[in-house]
């Protein structure tokens, strides 16, 4: 039974539970609401909640576990001999899944009867051709082991789905029955419902933690796989990045240093653009601009923050890149490429202007007015006050803001994908194309990916490195900013 149907049935059961629970409560109080412990809706909600929530949670867990269980059983079926040279179990597994999906499609389209799908043999039929006819393209001929595993896979899937349907509905019915029988006029329905809702709220708030755990685990696993195939010293200290596309392993050199260099170089250029402009813009807005000027200029600059990064990327690609090449790089003899550190850095700097300026604005405004008055009262000019009193007082906060901006710059993807180029190199010339960690994550994980080869897995190691760097910067920055705010609170 499709998941959607199960969900609908459970929900319907919950709806019925609501009505019945309410009615039973009213009946037990002889129709007089005043004799009930809680309002009648709470009795209804109690039944509905106990019917729906455990059943759906159970189903969610089951759906998460099912693929793992099935896979574990199937993997045992694949003999060592079926794994070709240079391939791996997980690759064969994905073949199995694909064939199984193909059989499903064939059955759904009526090209095969369910019996046929379970009984066809590679020995007698060209499975690839038959599946091709229903639009499932397979890379190679289906080996008998794979087909058998796929058929078994389908069988297991069907069986597990059936078990799940029964169990989920059973959980729902048990919840329904239990809560329905509980319903009497003295039952503290409101308290129970509120506890239930509170648990749901807590569950929702833990999603943030689950996400972080998911991020770390998903990258950690694949990174470990990567380091089992490629030495970590070569990864962290290698100065050459040249993944081979032909074979697996061997010839590839996957040193992260050129990528880190490009990332840092571009980030530094971006910060050199964004920090002075953003800071001065914030100072001007908060200390000099009249209300009219502020009302116009501030939203305009904030628009820059709302523009998606792909737009900046395109801006770099079609406008800034060619402009820098034609007016700077070529006349100065520094390069011929429109994708360059400068292009990506300048555009990223523009993107970060509103980020730096709004953070600085908050921070400058947090400096107490009495401090400014003290300086102005001594006969300091506004600029002297800002430079010698406000900025030093706001310095920790501004440093925190710059760190946050740096973390943004390091993790930014689309601008560098379109503006920085794809050549990994360590060079000082800012008009040369260089590449970054994020660009390589994109290029290694799009197109043909093979989750057994170091060339693909390296993306997870890059991702983990990126995550650790940005996390470090963020934690440090948030800590500094928080400390700074406490100082003036």
Partner 1 sequence: MNDMRIVEREVETKAVKISARNCQVYYGETHAIKDVNIDIEDKTVTAFIGPSGCGKSTFLRCLNRMNDTIDVARVEGEILLDGEDIYDPKVDPVQLRAKVGMVFQKPNPFPKTIYDNVAYGPRIHGLAGNKADLDVIVEKSLRRGAIWDEVKDRLDAPGTGLSGGQQQRLCIARAVATEPEVLLMDEPCSALDPIATAQVEELIDELREQYSVVIVTHSMQQAARVSQKTAFFHLGNLVEFGETGQIFTNPQDPRTESYITGRIG
Partner 2 sequence: MTDATANPAAAAGSPRHGSLLSQDALTKKRNAAETRFRLYGLAAVSVGILALILLLASILNNGLGSFQQTFISLDVELQEDRLDKAGNRNIEDLKKVSTFGYAPLITAAMAAKIAETGIQIEGLSAKDAGNIISKDAPAQLRDYVLANPEKIGTTVNFKVLANGRIDGYFKDRVTMASAELDSNVTPQQLMLADALKEDGVLIKGFNWGFITNPDASENRPEASGLGVAILGSLYMMLVVLILALPIGVAASIYLEEFAPKNRWTDLIEVNISNLAAVPSIVFGILGLAIFINFAGLPQSAPIVGGLVLTLMTLPTIIISTRASLKSVPPSIRDAALGVGASKMQSVFHHVLPLAAPGILTGTIIGLAQALGETAPLLLIGMVAFVREYPGAPPEGFFDPASALPVQVYNWTQRADPAFVERASGAIIVLLIFLLFMNAVAIMLRRRFERRW
Could you tell which of partner 1, partner 2, none binds residue 313, using a CB distance below 5 to 8 A set by kind?
Answer: partner 2
Nearer to partner 2, 51 or 385 (CB): 385
H/E element holding 361?
helix 341-366
* Residue 128: CA count within 13 A, CB half-sphere: 11
Could you tell which of partner 1, partner 2, none binds residue 375, using a CB distance below 5 to 8 A set by kind?
Answer: partner 1
- Per CB under 8 A, the list member of 16, 257, 314, 366 interacting with partner 2 is 314
End-to-end CA distance of the chain: 59
Nearer to partner 1, 113 or 487 (CB): 487
Under the binding rule (CB under 8 A), the answer on residue 340 touching partner 2 is: no
* Least spacing, CB of residue 139 vs partner 2, in Å: 15
Nearer to partner 1, 302 or 373 (CB): 373
* Least spacing, CB of residue 206 vs partner 2, in Å: 7
Kindly report the CA angle at 215 between 213 and 221, in degrees rounded to 5? 95
> Closest Cα partner for 434 from 278, 218, 269?
269
Site size with partner 2, rule: CB under 8 A = 93
Under the binding rule (CB under 8 A), the answer on residue 153 touching partner 2 is: no
> Closest Cα partner for 266 from 347, 360, 357, 336?
347
* Least spacing, CB of residue 470 vs partner 2, in Å: 6
Nearer to partner 1, 363 or 452 (CB): 363
Q: Cβ(454)–Cβ(230) under 8 Å?
A: yes
* Residue 179: CA count within 13 A, CB half-sphere: 33
* Least spacing, CB of residue 224 vs partner 1, in Å: 48
Q: Considering only residues 420-439, where is the footprint of partner 2 by CB under 8 A?
A: 438
Nearer to partner 2, 185 or 408 (CB): 408
Three-state SS at 253: strand
Under the binding rule (CB under 8 A), the answer on residue 156 touching partner 2 is: no
Could you tell which of partner 1, partner 2, none binds residue 438, using a CB distance below 5 to 8 A set by kind?
Answer: partner 2
Nearer to partner 1, 192 or 364 (CB): 364
Nearer to partner 1, 276 or 374 (CB): 374
Nearer to partner 1, 195 or 381 (CB): 381
Structure tokens, 485: 């705010």
Three-state SS at 208: helix
Burial label for 112, CB within 10 Å (0-12, 13-18, 19+), is buried
Could you tell which of partner 1, partner 2, none binds residue 290, using a CB distance below 5 to 8 A set by kind?
Answer: partner 1
- Per CB under 8 A, the list member of 442, 450, 476, 485 interacting with partner 2 is 442
**What single string gives the DSSP state of each residue in 217-229?**
HHHHHHHHHHHHH
Q: Cβ(285)–Cβ(275) under 8 Å?
A: no
Q: Cβ(292)–Cβ(467) under 8 Å?
A: no
Q: Considering only residues 205-264, where is the footprint of partner 2 by CB under 8 A?
A: 205-209, 211-212, 214-215, 218-219, 221-222
Nearer to partner 2, 308 or 368 (CB): 308
Nearer to partner 1, 11 or 380 (CB): 380
- Binding site residues, partner 1, CB under 8 A: 290-291, 368, 370-381, 384, 388-389, 392-393
* Least spacing, CB of residue 29 vs partner 2, in Å: 20
Under the binding rule (CB under 8 A), the answer on residue 370 touching partner 2 is: no
* Least spacing, CB of residue 27 vs partner 2, in Å: 25
DSSP letter (8 states) at residue 143? P
Cα 180 to Cα 199, 201, 366: the distances in Å are 21, 24, 57
Nearer to partner 2, 211 or 239 (CB): 211
Q: Cβ(274)–Cβ(352) under 8 Å?
A: yes
State the alpha helices, DSSP H only, in 82-143: 89-109, 114-119, 127-133
Q: Cβ(19)–Cβ(44) under 8 Å?
A: yes
Could you tell which of partner 2, partner 1, none binds residue 338, using a CB distance below 5 to 8 A set by kind?
Answer: none
Distance CA 390, CA 193 (A): 53
Q: Cβ(416)–Cβ(344) under 8 Å?
A: yes
Instruction: Tell me how long the chain is.
Output: 489
Centroid of chain to Cα 376: 49
Could you tell which of partner 1, partner 2, none binds residue 164, using a CB distance below 5 to 8 A set by kind?
Answer: none
For residue 143, give every residue at least 6 positions away whose Cβ sits within 8 Å of its Cβ, in sequence order, or none.
82, 122
- Per CB under 8 A, the list member of 277, 334, 366, 422 interacting with partner 2 is 277
Q: Considering only residues 278-307, where is the footprint of partner 2 by CB under 8 A?
A: 278-281, 283-285, 287-289, 297, 300-301, 303-304, 306-307
Query: If you search the block for the tokens 């499975």, which residue do you land on?
Result: 127
Under the binding rule (CB under 8 A), the answer on residue 95 touching partner 2 is: no
Could you tell which of partner 2, partner 1, none binds residue 257, using a CB distance below 5 to 8 A set by kind?
Answer: none
């Amino acid at each position: 039974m499709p998941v959607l149907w199960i969900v609908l049935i459970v929900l319907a059961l919950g709806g019925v539970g609501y009505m019945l629970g309410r009615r039973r409560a009213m009946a037990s109080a002889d129709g007089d609401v005043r004799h009930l412990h809680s309002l009648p809706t709470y009795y209804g909600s109690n039944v509905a909640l106990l019917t729906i929530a455990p059943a759906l949670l159970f189903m969610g867990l089951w759906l998460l576990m099912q693929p793992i269980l099935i896979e574990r059983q199937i993997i045992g079926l694949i003999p060592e001999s079926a794994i070709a040279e240079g391939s791996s179990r997980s690759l064969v597994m994905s073949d199995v899944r694909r064939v199984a999906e193909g059989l499903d499609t064939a059955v759904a389209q009526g090209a095969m009867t369910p019996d046929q799908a379970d009984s066809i043999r590679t020995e007698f039929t060209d499975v690839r051709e038959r599946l091709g006819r229903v639009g499932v393209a397979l890379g190679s001929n289906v080996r008998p082991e794979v087909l058998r595993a796929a058929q078994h896979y389908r069988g297991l899937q069907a069986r597990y789905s059936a078990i799940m349907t029964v169990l989920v509905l059973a959980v729902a019915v048990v919840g329904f029955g239990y809560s329905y029988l509980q319903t009497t006029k003295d039952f503290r329905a409101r308290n129970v419902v509120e506890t239930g809702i509170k648990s749901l709220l807590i569950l929702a708030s833990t999603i943030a933690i689950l996400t972080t755990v998911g991020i770390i685990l998903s990258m950690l696993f694949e990174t470990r796989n990567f380091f089992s195939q490629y030495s970590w010293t070569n990864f962290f200290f290698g100065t050459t990045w040249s993944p081979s596309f032909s074979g697996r392993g061997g010839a590839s050199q996957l040193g992260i240093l050129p990528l880190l260099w490009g990332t840092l170089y571009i980030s530094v250029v971006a910060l050199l653009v964004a920090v002075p402009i953003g800071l001065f813009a914030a100072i001007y807005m908060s200390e000099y601009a009249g209300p009219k000027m502020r009302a116009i200029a501030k939203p305009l600059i904030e628009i820059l923050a709302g523009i998606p990064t792909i737009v900046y990327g395109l801006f770099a690609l079609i406008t800034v890149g060619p402009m820098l090449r034609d007016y700077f790089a070529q006349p100065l003899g520094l390069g011929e490429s429109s994708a360059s550190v400068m292009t990506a850095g300048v555009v990223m700097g523009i993107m970060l202007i509103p980020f730096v300026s709004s953070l600085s604005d908050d921070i400058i405004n947090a400096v107490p007015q009495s401090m400014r008055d003290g300086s102005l009262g001594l006969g300091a000019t506004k600029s002297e006050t800002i430079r010698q009193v406000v900025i030093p007082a706001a310095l920790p906060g501004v440093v925190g803001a710059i760190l946050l901006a740096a973390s943004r710059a390091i993790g930014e993807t689309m601008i560098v994908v379109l503006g920085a180029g794809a050549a990994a190199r360590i060079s000082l010339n800012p008009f040369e194309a260089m590449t970054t960690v994020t660009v390589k994550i994109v290029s290694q994980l799009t197109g043909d990916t093979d989750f057994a080869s170091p060339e693909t897995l390296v993306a997870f190691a890059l991702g983990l490195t990126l995550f650790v760097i940005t996390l470090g910067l963020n934690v440090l920055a948030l800590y500094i900013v928080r400390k700074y705010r406490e100082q003036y609170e």
